[in-house]
A and B are shown apart, each in its own frame.
Chain A
Amino acid sequence: MIVVDSGRTPLGAILAARRAVAAVQKRGLHRSVRGGNGNSATGGRFRCQSQAVIGEDFPAVLAAAQRGDEDAFTVLWRDGNPALLRYLKVIAPASAEDVTAETWVTVVRGLDRFRGGEDAWRAWLFTTARRRAVDAGRRRSRRPESPAAEVGDGHWPAAADAAEVVLENLATRAAIAAVASLPPLQADVVMLRVVAGLDTETVARLVGRSPGAVRVAVHRGLRRLARIMTEAGVTR
C-alpha cells in the first residue's frame, strides 16, 4: 500500500499504525477484561466476554484515525458502537439508534482534538452519548411496566450449556431488557461499569454522584439482576 504523506508524520509511524490496525482487525476486538486479577479467563463458569478493548494498539489506531485513515476509524467504531448501542437501549430505548448516530457525528467532528488513552476515549464516547440522550430529552424517565415479562423463562438457558447459549443474540437482548427494568440510576451505572467498562470514579463524574453512591447503586442493580436470573431459572 502506498502512503503519500505531506511530511508531518514520519513514514515509520504510519506504517506502524497500519500494522496496528491490521493486527487489531485480525485478532478481533474481544479480550479479557481490563484490570482483572490474572486468573480470570479460565477460572469461572462463564468464559469471559468482557467489553471490547483495543489495548496496546490504541494510540497508533487513534493517531491513524485522526490522520483520516478509514480503516483505523473503523476499528474504533467497531469497538465502540455495539457497546454504545446497548447502553443507549437502556437509557434511551425509544431512540437508541438515532442517539448512537448523533453520538458518532459529534465524535467524528471532535476526533482531531481528542487527546488521551483508551480509557479516556471510552469515557468520552459514553459521556457524549449520555449527553446526547439527555439533551434530546429522550432519556428514560420511568421504569417500564413489567420487566419480568421481557425476560421470560424461555429466554434463559439451563445452567448446563449456559456459557455457550448465553452468548446468543436473544440472551443479549434479554440482558439489556433486564437492565432496562432497573431504576434509572442503577441501570445507568451498571451499563457504564459493565458495558462501557468505565471505572467507578469516571462513572461517578459522569452521573454526578459520589463514587460511594455509584458503588451502592451498582450493588443494588446487581442484586436485582441476580434475583431476576434466579427467578428465571438460572441457578448457580
Chain B
Amino acid sequence: MSGWDVSDADMPNIPGSPRADVPELPDGALDALLTGDLVTDEACAGLQPAAALLAALNAAPQDDELAGHARVLAEFRRRGLPARARRSARRRRRSLTSLTARAAAAAAVAATALGGVAAAAYTGALPAPAQQFAHGMIGAPSPQPSHRPGTPQPSHRPGTPQATPARTDAVGPDATGPAAFGLCTAYAHAKAHGTASQKAVAFRNLAAAAGGAAKIAAYCTAVPHPGNSQPGQPTSAPTHPAGHPSHPTGKPSSHPTPHQGRRPSSAPARH
C-alpha cells in the first residue's frame, strides 16, 4: 500500500473496490487525533473536527459506568481459588457489613410492600388472583367481582406494591359498604401490632363510618361477616408468619450470600 501520502483525488478509482475513495489511515494520524495534536498529514487534515468527539469517547468514567462493581466482585469471590483462605479479616468484615445493609434494605422494602398489599388485601382491593392468594394466606376476604368499591384509586397492581394507598387525594374503600368487614379485620390486625395509622385513607373512612376513631371497635362488631361458605380462615393458625405483614424482618437469612471457595479449580477451564 503506497497510499496515504497522496490525496484522495490521486487514488485509483477502482469500481467496486472498498478502498476506491478512502486511503488507509496511517496509525500516526489516529494517534495525533487521540493526543490532541494537529494532524500534519495532508490527506487526513479534514479529520481534525473528530478529535473532540474522540476525546469525549475516552472521557473519564461516569458513575453509572462503575455501578456494577458489587455484582462483578461477587462473581470474583465465587471463583474457585486457593487464595480464598487468604482473605483478610478486613475484607470479610466489609462484605458482612454490606450484606447486612443490603438485608436491611431488602427487609425495609418487603415491609413497605407487605404493608401496602396487606391493607389492600384486607379491603378486598387486590385483583382477583392476588385477592384469592391473600385470602388463603392472611385471611383476607376472598375475591368477589361484585365486591369492588367503585373508586379506582387504590388499584394495587401486585407488581408495584410500593405504591402505598396513603396518597392524600385517595378516596379509599367505602367503609359503609361490603369492604367494611375487610377494613375492620385490617384495623384490628394493625392495631394489635401498633401500626394502625390514623393517616391511612381506608382507616379514616372506617372512622368516619363508625362516627369517630374511638367508635371503630363498636362499629366493627356490628359489621356482618361477608358470609362466604368457606370455613373461617383455616390458614391463620398454621402458616402463622405470613399472617403478620408487619413483621417481615425475619427474612434476611434468605438473602443469598456469596459463598466462598465452593467452586473447584475446574471452573476456569470453561470457556
Contact = CB atoms under 8 A, between A and B. Distances in A.
A133 interface: no
Interface string A157-171: 000001100111101
Contacts of B44: 219
A2 B55 CA distance: 42
B130 interface: no
A81 B49 CA distance: 27
A4 to B, nearest CB: 6
Contacts of B91: 70
A59 to B, nearest CB: 17
Nearest to A233: B49
B60 A46 contact: no
A56 B80 CA distance: 28
Interface residues of A, number: 87
Interface stretch (A19-27, A103-111, A118-126, A136-144): A103-111
Given A219-B24, A226-B46, A228-B53, A67 B86 contact: yes
A46 B71 CA distance: 35
A212 B69 CA distance: 38
Interface stretch (B34-42, B99-107, B183-191): B34-42
Contact of A67 (B51, B62, B73, B83): B83
B184 to A, nearest CB: 48
A216 B25 CA distance: 6
B77 A172 contact: no
Interface centre among B49, B59, B79 (most CB of A within 10 A): B49
B59 A235 contact: no
B35 A32 contact: yes
Given A67-B83, A81-B65, A176 B57 contact: yes
A3 B57 contact: no
Contacts of B83: 67-69
Given A85-B65, A109-B268, A73 B51 contact: no
B93 interface: no
Interface residues of B, number: 64
Contact of A219 (B22, B31, B49, B265): B22
Nearest to B94: A70
A60 B221 CA distance: 75
B11 to A, nearest CB: 11
A55 B81 CA distance: 26
A178 B22 CA distance: 20
A109 B61 contact: no
Contacts, number: 220
Interface centre among A100, A171, A175 (most CB of B within 10 A): A175
A40 B268 contact: no
Contacts of B46: 223, 226
A83 to B, nearest CB: 8
Nearest to B63: A169
Contact of B30 (A48, A166, A194, A220): A194
Given A40-B36, A45-B36, A46-B52, A175 B57 contact: yes
A36 to B, nearest CB: 5
B57 A216 contact: no
Nearest to B82: A6
A48 B35 CA distance: 5
B51 A45 contact: yes
Interface string A168-202: 11011011101100000000000101110001100
B58 A44 contact: no
Contacts of B132: none
A157 B251 CA distance: 51
A230 B49 contact: yes
B22 A97 contact: no
B31 A33 contact: yes
Contacts of B37: 37, 39-40, 43-44
Given A30-B60, A32-B35, A219-B24, A166 B55 contact: yes
Given A73-B73, A100-B68, 12 more contacts: A6-B85, A37-B28, A68-B87, A77-B73, A101-B71, A112-B79, A166-B56, A174-B56, A213-B19, A216-B24, A219-B47, A229-B49
21 contacts: A5-B86, A6-B86, A33-B34, A40-B31, A48-B55, A52-B61, A70-B73, A70-B91, A78-B66, A86-B65, A97-B68, A112-B79, A167-B59, A169-B62, A172-B62, A199-B27, A215-B25, A216-B19, A222-B47, A227-B49, A235-B49
Interface of B: 1, 18-19, 22-28, 30-38, 44, 46-62, 65-66, 68-69, 71-73, 75-77, 79, 81-88, 90-91, 265, 267-271
The 7 closest A-B pairs by CB, nearest first: A44-B36, A68-B83, A40-B35, A215-B24, A219-B25, A82-B61, A175-B56
